[in-house]
Amino acid sequence: MFSVEQLQAFVATVETGSFSAAARQLGKAQSVVSQHVINLEIDCNTPLFERSGRYPTLTAAGKALLPQSTALLQQHQRFTNSALSLHQRTPDDITIALDEGIPLKTIAKAIVDLEAKYPNLSLEFLSASSLDIIDMLKSERAITGIIFSELDIPS
């Protein structure tokens, strides 16, 4: 039977284009990622990658199983998030005040990561000056703020 680790290795290899890049993405050794994929291929009784070139390419079986593998990993993440939320109550709505000088695109990856980890989370971003952000935090209009300048912030 296949494991979540095997599916993660398979999908990461497809997404990154190589076993070594997948290993870096997953924070594992390349040999571990390769072995997970090999074990998945054994469990499926078919090769998922063609390894004749420099980079692995999906076989027909790999292409057929990729959407289901991705869906299973997404479902696993939703289940994990739901299970964790049973004991850790996370807010449903978070308001973040951003300094006017900080482009939203600079924190885009963090936003995507938050939305993936907490799919039920609603984020609101407010753009304001650094001094206004401090006032928003004091009045609890925002729960956190990111400012662009160095200010002495009173406690």
Give the CATH number, domain containing residue 72. 1.10.10.10
The answer to whether residues 69 and 112 belong to one domain is no
What is the percentage of the chain residues whose pLDDT exceeds 70?
A: 93
Same domain, 15 and 60: yes
Mean pLDDT in the chain? 88
Contact yes or no for 99/132 (Cβ under 8 A):
no
Query: Taking the complete model, does pTM exceed 0.75, yes or no?
Result: no
- By the 8 A CB rule, do 146 and 99 touch? yes
Domain final position from 37, 67, 85: 85
CA distance 5 to 2: 8
* pLDDT, tens digit (0-9, with 9 covering 90-100), for 51-90: 998 899 999 999 999 999 999 999 998 888 777 777 766 6
* Structural tokens at position 131: 């001094």
Tens of pLDDT, residue by residue over 37-55, are: 999 999 999 999 999 988 9
Range of the domain at 124: 93-146
Residue 154 lies in a domain: no
CB 93 within 8 A of CB 103: no
Q: Is the pLDDT of residue 153 over 70?
A: no
Which residues, in sequence order, are bridge partners of residue 142? none
